[in-house]
Amino acid sequence: MQIFKVGGAVRDRLLGIPVTDVDRVVVGATTEQMVAQGFRPVGADFPVFLHPKTGEEYALARTERKSGRGYGGFTFHASPDVTLEEDLIRRDLTINAMAEDDQQNLTDPYHGQRDLEARILRHVSPAFAEDPLRVLRVARFAARYASLGFTVAPETLELMRQLSESGELQALTAERSWKEISRALMEDQPQVFIQVLRDCGALKELMPEVDALFGVPQPEVHHPEIDTGLHTLSVLEQSALHKQPLTVRWACLLHDLGKGLTPEEEWPRHIAHEHTGLKLIKAVNERFKAPKDCQELALLVGKYHTHCHRALELKASTLLELLQSFDVYRRPQRFEEFIGACEMDARGRKGLEQRSYPQADYLRGAAQAAREVAVQPLLEKGFKGPELGEALKRERLKALKAYKDKASA
């Protein structure tokens, strides 16, 4: 029995970056031998075991064969006869198909170290095209390592294009897709993920609503970059630069979907795109079964982002309506994330990345003014039920008018 570290642990050590996950492969062992040594079997699909002391995962070396559509359409074969090289060849990229023993002796049959040095993401074998999830994975790795200069090999991008055109992407489950998308959005350069998906035709298959934004012009006075798709990439880039959470990054990706529905004769204006985009945002949310907080923020940002940009001009009554829509009294964090997404939208414009966004603090102040209206004096005056709600609304409106007067003085 031989044990090797494989995949990301080897790759990241060679790159000189922190190793977070350690995967191990066991060569020359049977399930019975693993159990006899105290390893606990987990997973029904293939033989993976938990170490009796550390709880870390160890997988028997295995081969796999395509047996159906999608990510799960494979049969696995594990036995003591399977070699390390046979296990490594089933992996996606050469930089993930390296192994090392406890003395850090490298096994690199598919030239992963060479591709690491050349900063290339290259598939290991033609079997790459059997797993549609790998399209998303490669795009995610491109986003993760873009800052190190990594690019996708042309022949790998071509295989990704063939996969995208084959219809296999439609066989991916919402859960598997969301896992890759959400991880990619949290990388340092999530816009690279979207760009790579677009380059291989996968964006059109997975998110046609986002793909439709490319080539759609916006007024140059507000958007020097003009192209709505490029603007979306820039907004996503800003969200990563400013360390925004996943909810904000998801909202940034979807905020302008309505512009893809504007008739060409109305270009470059996009009247009421906030409302026309809501059905598209809802469709994308549901397609990937995004978490509830991501779904809610994406819809709210889509609907109200132009309100945020015009915050200083809003009437007190409109301001109150906005605050009520976000339930800022019980859910202050969601409103803060909304402001963050809108600021990213404002900064995601060519040459305007560093400009100030006074609307952010103005809205924070407005929310605070509304929150400070006390309920107790109204209760003491005898208000209750719906009447209390109306009285509270009147007092908050009064507070917002006073806030606006003070801010503009």
Helix axes 133-145, 190-199, angle to 10 degrees: 140
Is residue 357 very low, low, confident or very high in pLDDT (cuts 50, 70, 90)? very high
pLDDT of 73 above 60: no
**pLDDT value at position 317?**
97
Residues of the chain with pLDDT > 70, as a percent, come to 97
**pLDDT value at position 24?**
95
- Domain spanning 1-118 has what CATH number? 3.30.460.10
| d(C-alpha 204, C-alpha 8), whole Å | 29
Q: Which residues contact 109 (CB under 8 A, 6 or more apart)?
A: 85, 88, 89, 97
Q: Which residues contact 76 (CB under 8 A, 6 or more apart)?
A: 45, 46, 62, 63, 64
In terms of C-beta density within 10 A (0-12 exposed, 13-18 middle, 19 or more buried), how is residue 287 classed? middle
Is residue 79 very low, low, confident or very high in pLDDT (cuts 50, 70, 90)? confident
pLDDT of 71 above 70: no
| Mean pLDDT across the chain | 94
pLDDT of 37 above 90: yes
User: How far from 247 is each of 91, 93, 142, 191, 286, CA to CA, in Å?
Assistant: 31, 30, 22, 15, 15
**pLDDT value at position 38?**
94
Is residue 45 very low, low, confident or very high in pLDDT (cuts 50, 70, 90)? low
Q: How many CB atoms lie within 10 A of CB 169?
A: 21
pLDDT digits (tens, 9 = 90+) for 98-110: 999 999 999 999 9
Tokens 């170290």 — which residue?
A: 113
Which regions of the chain carry the CATH code 3.30.460.10? Answer: 1-118
